[in-house]
Amino acid sequence: MEKTRNNRAWFMVLPVVALVAFSAVLPLMTVVNYSVQDTFGNNVFFWAGTEWFTQVLESERMHDALWRQFLFSAVILAIEVPLGVAVALCMPKKGFWASVCLVLMALPLLIPWNVVGTIWQVFGRVDIGLLGWTLANLGVDYNYTQNPLDAWITVVVMDVWHWTSLVVLLAYAGLQSIPQAYYQAARIDQASRWKVFRYIELPKMKGVLLIAVLLRFMDSFMIYTEPFVVTGGGPGTATTFLSIDLVKMALGQFDLGPAAAFSLMYFLVILLLSWVFYTVMTNSDKAGKGA
Amino acid sequence: MAKITLDNLGHCYGGRPANRDDYQLKPMSHVWEDGAAYALLGPSGCGKSTLLNIISGLLIPSEGRVLFGEQDVTRAPTAKRNIAQVFQFPVVYDTMTVYDNLAFPLRNRRAAARYVDIRVKAVAEMIGLADRLDERAQGLTADAKQKISLGRGMVREDVSAILFDEPLTVIDPHMKWELRTQLKALHREFGHTMIYVTHDQTEALTFADKVVVMSDGEVVQVGAPAELFERPAHTFVGYFIGSPGMNVLDAEVEGSMAHVMGCALPLARRYGRLSGRVQIGVRPEFASVAETGPGLPVSVTRVEDVGRHRVVRATIGGVEVNAIAQEGQSVPENAEWLRFAPEAVNVYADGWLVEGEAA
């Protein structure tokens, strides 16, 4: 069929362009605007060039928050992905209990983030929280408001509790799509349980796991509400992740210029890393197909 | 390698059948001879895959026994039975190379690396993938993948039987022919017992030495392709095999005469008293139409030219009947009579073939 070329078609996308402009591009531009200007109040702005960017890039505080952020994302990915896959493998394939498991798995995902934070904030309290109180009575010196390691453990466990289900559901969907014949063939080939996982289940789950890793990476890299509610970024700055730091800078100290520069770089880092993840994982797929 | 015996084998998914109709696989006994090529033929849902899965050990039958040689393997797991199975959809291990795929069953059984290498190369040669051993299996076409599945079945020399579960369903028509020919050649060369499940009569008749026809959870006939054609043991076999299928008409049979809708037809054999629903069955290949009697008065509805021969479609008393006119044979313009070759008329009581005495 011959393709029709008609420039009037551009008018068709105009509403979408306008919508995206107002909802995304213009707000982003105001951030760009702040990031290159300075003010002493009264809505009078001065050109600041790349000053804020240099300042943020050189600031120790930003480096620490970035490092913490990477550590946090790495830790939760390292726990949630294998754990999620393991749970999905243990879930029944069909029947009544499969539905029960699915509902149970979906529950944490339905709870609003600040509620999750509050639940764990109370849960971990030494005086009234079930977890904190129990641990204290067992003689464990646990206090997330004073001990940085305890605060980290609390925040990580909370995230694992909240989000492993997502990996489970995705992995489970991937497992369900494997035809029964594969398992039967593996039995005939006398493959061990490990080999079934390694050569059948894992390759077939690759696609959904890629999505799981991407989603969990992006989400954890932008995490704000839950640690903010539980620890407020403390003790000290122990659990001050990038977005918590950003909010402190922008709203707490009202340093709009540096905060704007910060958020732009933050945005670019997430974009870059997601792109790298995606390219690496889809390329390995293509290499397999092309070979 | 061993002969496979099914001893009073039956299966009912619920476990407790109240009567014969509750079975997915009705109780039966059958022996699969060592080294023969069998086809298990029947429409979808007739229980042929159930039977295959019982033989391969993927399913444990609710009653009866399965013997490999003299050994009872009814409850033995698949891995213990030493069989190979090729499935409807190609099963390959995507992340492995063709070589590793073929080596997989041997390596899992801890075969020596040298032996594995020899076997893999030999099998790759047979299935025509010798020059693609280093490729990853993922990128291959469906028929190449199915060849790998087939190769994984052939790679072990000691398999008791190779089972095929409609293995050519997803293969392009022109590749089907090639793969089937290859299978046949492999069977001749290595003499494995092969059981080939299909619902395609051409596939079954060209592949097998013996065809096992199933219907409704029951084996209705076991025979060489020619037997199925000439003397169908059940009316089902009659119309399931052949194109078009056998003509089946209600009749009264007395001695060596059959009466169909008031017309008398001569039979080549003599029959005693028959009970139940009596029918006669005649292949369209042995029927012809003529302008004058004797025969059955029919009205011809149309004549289809299918290349090598023509199919005459007609009805008699609302029942459709067919006759085949071979090339060169003429079909009269106003044919009103249908004739059967007496020696080709089979008599059925309640669906099952009745053997007459020589007249």
DSSP assignment letter at B356: P
- At residue B1, does pLDDT exceed 60? no
Check CB contact under 8 Å for A203 and B93.
Answer: yes
CB proximity B93 to A under 8 Å: yes
- B139 vs A contacts (CB less than 8 Å): 288-291
Q: Which residue has the higher pLDDT, B146 or A236?
A: B146
Cβ A185–B87 below 8 Å, yes or no? Answer: yes
- What pLDDT, on a 0 to 100 scale, did the predictor assign at position A143? 83
For residue A229, the enclosing domain spans 71-255
pLDDT of residue A197: 93
- On whether the CB atoms of residues B146 and B86 are closer than 8 A, the answer is yes
Tokens encoding B13: 């998914």
- CB distance A191–B78 less than 8 Å? no
CB contact under 8 A, A288 and B94: yes
Q: Is B293 helix (H, G, I), strand (E, B) or coil?
A: coil
The string of pLDDT tens digits covering residues B148-163 is: 888 888 888 888 888 8
Flag whether residue B84 sits within 8 Å of chain A, measured between CB atoms.
yes
- CA atoms of B321 and B327, how far apart (whole Å): 20
**Percent of residues in chain B assigned helix, strand, coil, to nearest 5:** 30, 35, 35
Q: Which of A134-138, B35-39, B77-81, B191-195 has the lowest mean pLDDT?
A: B77-81
CA atoms of A246 and A211, how far apart (whole Å): 27
- Name the band, by pLDDT with cuts 50, 70 and 90, for residue B100: very high
From the list A192, A200, A289, which residue is nearest B93 (CB)? Answer: A200
**Residue of B83, B136, B149 lying closest to A288 (CB–CB):** B136
Q: What is residue A286's predicted lDDT score, i.e. its pLDDT?
A: 59
Q: Domains, chain B, ranges and CATH?
A: 4-238 (3.40.50.300), 247-358 (2.40.50.140)
B284/B248 Cα distance (integer angstroms) = 10
Please name the member of A179, A192, A291 whose beta carbon is closest to the beta carbon of B139: A291
Residues of B in contact with A188 (CB under 8 A): 56, 78-79, 83-85, 105
**H/E run at residue B83:** strand B83-86
Helical (H) or strand (E) element with B26: strand B25-32
CATH of the domain at A92: 1.10.3720.10
Best mutation target among A188, A197, A198, A286 (most B Cβ atoms within 10 Å) is A188
Q: Does A193 touch chain B (CB under 8 A)?
A: no
ipTM of the complex: 0.73
Q: Is A157 on the interface with B (CB under 8 A)?
A: no
pLDDT at A74: 94
Residue A66 lies in a domain: no
Confirm whether A208 is domain-assigned: yes
Q: Are the Cβ atoms of B91 and A182 closer than 8 angstroms? A: yes
pLDDT of residue A32: 86
What are the helix and strand counts (H, E) for chain A? 14, 2
Is A196 in the B-facing interface, judged by CB distances under 8 Å?
A: no
Q: What is the DSSP letter of A3?
A: P
Share of residues in chain B with pLDDT > 90 (%): 5
| Cβ contact A291–B136 (<8 Å) | yes
Mean pLDDT taken over chain B: 85
Count of structural domains, chain A: 1
The answer to whether B78 faces chain A, any CB pair under 8 Å, is yes
Of A184, A189, A200, the CB nearest to B58: A184
The tokens 């025509």 sit on which residue?
B128
Specify if A31 maps to a domain: no
Low-confidence residues of chain A, pLDDT below 50?
A: 288-291
* Paired sense of beta strands B193-198 and B37-41, if any: parallel
Burial class (CB within 10 angstroms; exposed 0-12, middle 13-18, buried 19+) of A64: middle
On whether residue A286 sits in a domain, the answer given is: no
The residues, any chain, with a CB within 8 Å of residue B232's CB and separated by 6 or more, are B221, B238, B241, B246, B281, B346, B353
Q: Does a structural domain hold residue A133?
A: yes
- pLDDT attached to residue A290: 40
CB contact under 8 A, A188 and B139: no
The per-residue pLDDT for range B273-311, each reduced to its tens digit, is 888 888 888 988 888 888 877 888 888 888 888 888 888
B274 and chain A: CB distance < 8 Å anywhere?
A: no
